[in-house]
Structure 1
Amino acid sequence: MSSSNELKVALAQIAPVWLDKSKTLEKIKKQILDASQENCELIVFGEALLPGYPFWVSHTNGAEFNSTTQKEIHAHYVKNSVQVEKGDLDEICNLAKQHSIAIYLGLMERAADRGGHSIYCSLAYINQEGSIESMHRKLMPTYEERLTWASGDGNGLRVHSLKDFTLGGLNCWENWMPLPRAALYGMGENLHIAVWPGSEVNTKDITRFIARESRSYVISVSSLMHKKDIPDTIPHLEEILNTIPDEMANGGSCIASPDGEWLVAPVLHKEGLIIATLDFNRVLEERQNFDAVGHYSRPDVTQLTVNRERQSTIKIRE
C-alpha cells in the first residue's frame, strides 16, 4: 500500500451493455476486480453507465407527446434502472469491501423514496468498507435528459475521506454549476470527481478549469458507446439503429493536477482502465497562493446556503 498522501486511482472508461442492467453490472464487476489486481484504492465509472445514457431521446423524436415508441423505450429503461433497496448494488458493495477499494459509480436510480417509478441520474459513492455513503441525484438534467430523468436534490452534496484526500463528485453539466462546486469546496474537497456520458468535448476544458479554480485534483470519467453496444432486447431497436450514429461516446477520461495541467490527458476510443497515482502534497503546494474557501475567501461578504434535505412528496408521522 502507498503512504497516506498517495492514492492510486483507476478510471474505468467502458461501454455499457446498453440498457441491460444485469449484463452491465457484470462488466462493472470485472473492472473492479481488474483495478484491485493493480492495487488501486479508488475506481470511478462514468455518468449513467448503469444501465446507460438515454442516447435514443435526441435521435427518435423524444419530445413527441404520448408516443407509444417513447413510452415503451422509457418503460424498458426504468425496469433496468437500479433499485438500491432491492439489493441491486449488493454485489458491488461486497467487492468494494473484499478488495478494499472505494467506488464512484454513475447509475440510473429508481428511487423508492419518490414512489419507485421515476428515475434519477445518480452518482453513488461506496467506501472501502462496502457502505454506500452518498447517492447524489443530479440537480438539473440537461436539455433532452429532462424527457426521461427527474430532477434531484442536495442530499448527495457530500464529501468523503480517503487517506489524506477529501472526495466529492458531480454529474456531467452539474460541473458547470458554480454553486454546487462551491458547496463541495467549502466542505473541504480536494479531489473532485466529474462523471460524463462520454466525449472529450465535455472533459477537455472543464476538467482543467475546475482544477485551477479549486486547486484540487480533478478526475473526469467518460464512457464509450457504439452501435455494437446495443443488445437486441431493446424496444424499437430498428428505429434506434436507423437514426443514431455509429459512435455516440468516444471517451475523453482524464485527470488534471491542482495546477490545472494534465496528469493524464483525455484518452479517446480506448476501453479499459486508466491508472494513475495522486500525490496529496500537490494540493497543499497549489493552495499556497489561492484557496477559494480559505485564505482567498470573504465569507463576511458572500456565503452559500446548502439544503441537504432529501426531498419527498410525503412525510409520514406514526
Structure 2
Amino acid sequence: MVTGGASGAPRRIAVVQPEAACFDTATAVDRVVAGTLEAAGKGAGLVVFPEAYIGGYPWGLAFGTAVGGRSAAGRRAWQRYHESAIAVPGPETERLGEAAAEAGVVLAVGVVERDTTYSGGTLFCTLLYFGPDGRLLGKHRKLKPTAAERLVWGEGDGSTLPVFDTAVGRVGGLICWENYMPLARMAMYGEGVEIYLAPTADARPRWQSTLQHIALEGRCYVVGCNQYVTRDMYPSDLELAHELDAWPDTLCIGGSAIYGPMGDCLAGPLEGEAGMLFADVDPGEIVRSRFDFDVTGHYARPDVFRFEVDRRPHPPVSSRT
C-alpha cells in the first residue's frame, strides 16, 4: 500500500555537495555530521550526500591494473582504499545516526561499505538511510558497478532495493548509472517512490537530462547529488598518484540538482564549488503530475508486460541441515 507524502504541508530537501575527502574516512564523517546539522538548521527534513562520499570515489585511479595483470603497488593502494571503507553497522554508522537524531532529519549518505558478513574482502558502493530517531533504516547496494568500478566494488542484489515511508514522503533511489537501468527504475516506481534519490559521480551536462527524465517518468521529485573534487584533495603520499597525471586538476565539478515531478529544475545544477541546495516538496504536486501519466497506475499495461523483482538475498554460500 502506498502511503506517505500524499497530503500535508511542503517538506524541505537539502542536497549537500561537499569537497572530497579521498582516503580520509574521519574527515568525511565529520563533514557529513556538520553538513547535516547545518542543513537541518535551514529547515531541511531530508539531507542527501553523494555516491561513495565516505570511503571515497577513486576518480582517475586504475590501482595498477591492466587486462591480465595487477601490480604490487596497486595491491597496496587497494589495501589503503579497503581500510578507508566502513562496516555497516559500525562506529561510523553510529555517529551518522547520532547526527540524524540530533538534527531530526532523514539522512541519506553514499559510502563505500566493507563486507563483514561473508568475505571481508569485498567492497560495495552503498547508500545508507537513517531515520530522524537515529536508526539505520536500511541500505541499497549498487547493483551494477560501471566500467572500471568493477575493479573495486562488488554487485548488490535485490534484497537491498528499499523505499522508506518518512515524514518527508516515500524515499528511495538508485546510484549513478543504475539509473540507466529501466527495470531498476521500475522497481522504485513500483514501491511508490515520491522522492527519488540519484547520488552520482557523473558531472556531465547530459546527466541533467537523466534526472529530468526520471522526474517526468516517475512523476516524483528527483534529487541528484555529487561532490566537488580536485586532484590536490588526494593524499600527497598516495600509492600510484602518477595515475592521475593524465587527468585535469578538477576531477569532478559536481552538478547536484533537484527536479520536480513535472521535470522542472527546482535547484542547481551546482558546479565548480562545494555548497548546498534546497527545495520544498509539495505532496500535492505529485498528485497533480499523475493526472495524465502514472507509470504504475493508469499508464501501465500489466496485461501486456510482466515484471518481477527478486528481493531475496543471494549469499555466496548456503547451508542446509
Please tell me whether the aligned partners of residues 61 and 244 of structure 2 are also in contact (alpha carbons under 8 angstroms). Answer: no
Q: Which amino acid aligns with 2:154?
A: A
- Distance in structure 2 (CA, Å) of the matches to 1:98 and 1:88: 15
The CA deviation at 1:59 is 8.9
Is residue 286 from structure 1 mapped to residue 283 from structure 2 by the alignment? no
- Distance in structure 2 (CA, Å) of the matches to 1:25 and 1:240: 27
Which residue number in structure 1 is paired with residue 255 of structure 2?
252
RMSD: 1.9
Which residue number in structure 2 is paired with residue 109 of structure 1?
113
* 1:213-292 alignment, distance < 5 Å: 213-237=217-241, 239-292=242-295
Which residue number in structure 2 is paired with residue 307 of structure 1?
310
Q: Which amino acid aligns with 1:260?
A: G
Change (3 A) 1:31 1:63: farther
SS in 2 for 1:84: coil
Q: Which amino acid aligns with 1:123?
A: L
Taking structure 1 as the reference length, what is the TM-score of the superposition? 0.93
5+ unaligned residues in a row in structure 2: which ranges? 1-6
- Distance in structure 1 (CA, Å) of the matches to 2:149 and 2:141: 13
Is residue 166 from structure 1 mapped to residue 139 from structure 2 by the alignment? no
- Distance in structure 2 (CA, Å) of the matches to 1:86 and 1:217: 31
Deviations 1:98-145 (CA, angstroms, capped at 9, x unpaired): 221111111100011231111001111111121122211110100011
- Distance in structure 2 (CA, Å) of the matches to 1:4 and 1:121: 34
Please tell me whether the aligned partners of residues 8 and 276 of structure 1 are also in contact (alpha carbons under 8 angstroms). Answer: yes
* 1:82-231 alignment, distance < 5 Å: 82-163=86-167, 165-201=169-205, 203-231=207-235
- Distance in structure 1 (CA, Å) of the matches to 2:113 and 2:18: 20
SS in 2 for 1:180: helix
Please tell me whether the aligned partners of residues 104 and 124 of structure 1 are also in contact (alpha carbons under 8 angstroms). Answer: yes
* 1:41-60 alignment, distance < 5 Å: 41-58=45-62
Taking structure 2 as the reference length, what is the TM-score of the superposition? 0.92
Please tell me whether the aligned partners of residues 21 and 53 of structure 2 are also in contact (alpha carbons under 8 angstroms). Answer: no
- Distance in structure 2 (CA, Å) of the matches to 1:227 and 1:245: 8
5+ unaligned residues in a row in structure 1: which ranges? none
Q: Which amino acid aligns with 1:169?
A: G
The structure with the greater share of residues assigned to helix is: 1
- Distance in structure 1 (CA, Å) of the matches to 2:307 and 2:108: 26
Please tell me whether the aligned partners of residues 198 and 250 of structure 1 are also in contact (alpha carbons under 8 angstroms). Answer: no
Deviations 1:200-250 (CA, angstroms, capped at 9, x unpaired): 43531100000111111111001111012112342233x245343201110
Please tell me whether the aligned partners of residues 197 and 223 of structure 2 are also in contact (alpha carbons under 8 angstroms). Answer: yes
Q: Which amino acid aligns with 1:131?
A: R
Change (3 A) 1:64 1:233: farther
Please tell me whether the aligned partners of residues 22 and 58 of structure 2 are also in contact (alpha carbons under 8 angstroms). Answer: no
Equivalent pairs, count: 315
The CA deviation at 1:4 is 3.5
- Distance in structure 2 (CA, Å) of the matches to 1:22 and 1:278: 32
Q: Which amino acid aligns with 1:250?
A: I
- Distance in structure 1 (CA, Å) of the matches to 2:235 and 2:34: 19
Please tell me whether the aligned partners of residues 45 and 195 of structure 1 are also in contact (alpha carbons under 8 angstroms). Answer: yes
Identical positions, percent: 29
- Distance in structure 2 (CA, Å) of the matches to 1:266 and 1:227: 22
- Distance in structure 2 (CA, Å) of the matches to 1:255 and 1:191: 10
- Distance in structure 1 (CA, Å) of the matches to 2:39 and 2:283: 21
